[in-house]
Amino acid sequence: MVSWTALLFAMVSAHAGGILLTSTGDCPGPIEISASGLTPGGSYTLLYSRYGRGDDRLVSGPCDGTFTGLDGEEVAVTRRADADGRMRLRRDFGAPSCGIHLQLIDHTTCVVSNVEDFVRPAVGGEADFGPYTWLLGERGESCTGVCETIGLRCADLVESEWVETCDSNVCQLFYPDLPCRSDGDGPRISYTEEDGAPSPSSECVYHDWPWGGWSCDWVEREDDVRICPCE
């Protein structure tokens, strides 16, 4: 059965410092991000990364030199916790943002929270769309990198002789209102905006014949968003 629910992985235990970061909701869509264990009334920073988990060290701010659990982190927001050491944010996440990873750092103690992963929206359905987890990529990203985000590998559509039609293609599960176009290099969305969202010129390009030019590492255009079969 096809599901539009994003895969949200939450840590069930906090780090030694006791900061537990969690999220609820379906991505894309409104997500509530909350945390406990912060210094009451103290400031914190919510960090994010599009590149996944890592061990980068902060190079500025009150916690300069602290190791994070992220790779290539950036600041999402800096605020103060409430009197109970809690925080709560509600944000509406678009599809291109569903691959980010979040982490909190307490400015008083320089303790970091667990990493909360926002995995890209996935669809499945072995009967209609093969034994794959289909994931939206970032704009211009290869399917190899997309699948690695959740610890899977990209499936070879050419080897499997995967073929779609305009009446039944993976792209329109994500974007049912887009027109479709036949091409062996799909499934992908063509001519997207800079944030990866469809533009007025976008089409669902589907995989209508097992063209040998398709590969997990291949990207035709920088403004394409690929839809990747992961296993």
Of residues 10 and 209, more confidently modeled: 209
Per residue in 26-81, pLDDT tens? Answer: 777 788 899 999 999 999 999 988 777 888 999 888 999 999 999 888 888 899 99
Q: Given CA atoms 21, 26, 27, 28 in this order, what sign does their dihedral have? A: negative
What per-residue confidence (pLDDT) applies to 95?
62
Q: From residue 4, how far is each of 17, 119, 133, 134 by CA, in Å?
A: 35, 12, 12, 11
Is CATH 2.10.220 correct for 8-118?
no
Whether the predicted pLDDT of 3 surpasses 50: no
Ordered by start, the domain boundaries in the chain are 8-118, 122-230
- Dmax (CA) of the chain: 60
104 vs 44: CA distance, rounded Å: 7
Per residue in 125-141, pLDDT tens? Answer: 544 677 888 888 888 88
Per residue in 116-125, pLDDT tens? Answer: 887 666 666 5
- Is 220 within 8 Å of 186 (Cβ atoms)? no
What per-residue confidence (pLDDT) applies to 138?
84
Per residue in 78-106, pLDDT tens? Answer: 999 999 999 998 877 766 567 778 999 99
Q: CB-based contacts of 59: which residues, under 8 Å, 6+ apart?
A: 65
For the whole model, what pTM was predicted?
Answer: 0.56
Q: What percent of the chain has pLDDT over 70?
A: 86
For the segment 197-204, the average pLDDT, to the nearest whole number, is 92
Token pair recorded at residue 197: 């969202």
What per-residue confidence (pLDDT) applies to 139?
87
What per-residue confidence (pLDDT) applies to 121?
62
Whether the predicted pLDDT of 1 surpasses 80: no
For the sheet containing 180-183, what is the strand order? 122-123, 133-139, 225-230, 188-189, 204-207, 180-183
Whether the predicted pLDDT of 11 surpasses 80: no
146 vs 144: CA distance, rounded Å: 6
Whether the predicted pLDDT of 223 surpasses 80: yes
Token pair recorded at residue 55: 């061990």
Of residues 98 and 207, more confidently modeled: 207
- Is 19 within 8 Å of 81 (Cβ atoms)? no
Q: 133: alpha, beta or left, given left = phi > 0 and alpha = psi -120 to 50?
A: beta
